[in-house]
Structure 1
Amino acid sequence: MVLVVVVVVVVVVVVVVVVVVVVVVVLVLVVVVVEVVSAVVVVVVVVVVVVVVVVVVVVVEVEVVVVVVVVVVLEVAVVVVVVVVVVIVVVVVVVVVVVEVVVVVVVVVVVVVVVVVVVVVVVVVVLVVVVVVVVVVVVVVVVIFFKKYVLEVLHYKFI
């Protein structure tokens, strides 16, 4: 009977020890699994947060670069438009000045030609009038002289 009690006590102790060991092992495994899962969750959360922050920073930097590039392109476009407008204004002013100079030169040339033609015509007309007057006077004088002479000659002949 003592032996049976000892065997029962030993079996109970062994069962209790085995149950305690199994419970401890299970608890340790649960703790290890919980720790590993929490470590993995922490690592995943940290990686996700870092990736999100990096993506946000890169997107913001890219947007800033895009905005800067757009602003620079717009500034260059404004400068090009201003230069083109200035060139057009300068060309228009030069064309207007050249046209004005050409008009003035043409007017001066026409006035000079008209004045020269008028002076030449007036001189020629005056010369023609003088020559005609001189010829008429000479003819009249000659006719008068010859008429008188002819009349005298005729008069002497017929008388």
Structure 2
Amino acid sequence: VVVVVVVVFVVVDVVVVLVVVVELVDVDVVVVLVVGPVLVVDVVDVLVVDVLAVVVLVVLVVLVVVVVVLVVVVVVLVSVVVVVVVVDVVVVVVVVVVVVVVVVVVVFVVVVVVVVVVVVVVVVVVVVVVVVVVVVVVVVVVVVV
């Protein structure tokens, strides 16, 4: 996204610069501005028109730099916000899953312990009742005989 935005801005600004320069100066000044200061131009051309062209170029370059910096800052901020939100969501999901698993395990353990205790109590009661009945029957049989 950043690359596309930067490329679009650069292309648009290059076109704007070329149009402005062509409007402001004649062909030899455009050649000098594009190719560099190696070529020599008429003194009259350079005096007024080059100053205007350079001012326009500097303003446009500053605007491009400001726009690119703003775009990069916005993209970085959005990326940071997205990463923070995603991390927060993942943390919340992990915490909820851990809590649910712990609750399920605790409930399972409690149910198993209760069932084991109830079974042990029932078995002990049945054994005690059977022993008491057997003792009573033996005592009755011995007394009667």
* TM-score of the superposed pair, with normalisation by structure 2: 0.66
Percent identical pairs in the alignment equals 77
1:56 pairs, out of 58, 63, 66, with 66
Counterpart in the other structure of 2:14: none
What do residues 11-66 of structure 1 show as CA deviations (whole Å, max 9, x unaligned)?
Answer: xxxxxxxxxxxxxxxxxxxxx51442432232222122111111111111111011
Aligned: 1:46 with 2:84: no
- The separation in 1 between residues aligned to 2:44 and 2:133, in whole angstroms, is 130
Q: Write the deviation string for residues 88-136 of structure 1: whole angstroms up to 9, x where unpaired.
A: 111111011111111110111111111111111111111221222123x
User: 2:107 aligned with 1:89, yes or no?
Assistant: no
Larger radius of gyration: 1
Paired AA for residue 72 in structure 2: V
Give unmatched runs, 5+ long, in structure 1: 1-31, 136-159
1:124 aligns with 2:124: no
Matched, 1:99 2:106: no
Q: Secondary structure at 2:108's aligned position in 1?
A: helix
CA–CA separation in structure 2 for the residues paired with 1:34 and 1:91? 85
State the AA in 2 paired with 1:130. Answer: V
Residue ranges of structure 2 left out of the alignment (5+ in a row) = 1-41
Partner AA of 1:52 in structure 2? V
CA distance in 1 between counterparts of 2:105 and 2:136 reads: 46
Q: Is 1:33 equivalent to 2:48 in the alignment?
A: no
Letter of the 1:50 partner, please give it. Answer: L
The structure that is helix-richer by fraction is: 1
Equivalenced residues, count: 104
Letter in 1 for 2:135: V
Report the RMSD for the aligned CA atoms in angstroms.
1.4
| Number of the residue aligned with 2:19 | none
Higher relative contact order (CA 8 A, sep 6+): 2
Q: Does 1:110 align with 2:115?
A: no
Give the TM-score of the pair, scaled to structure 1: 0.61
Query: Which residue, out of 133, 136, 143, partners 1:133?
Result: 143
Distance 2:134 2:48 in 1: 126
Distance across 2 between alignment mates of 1:53 and 1:132: 117
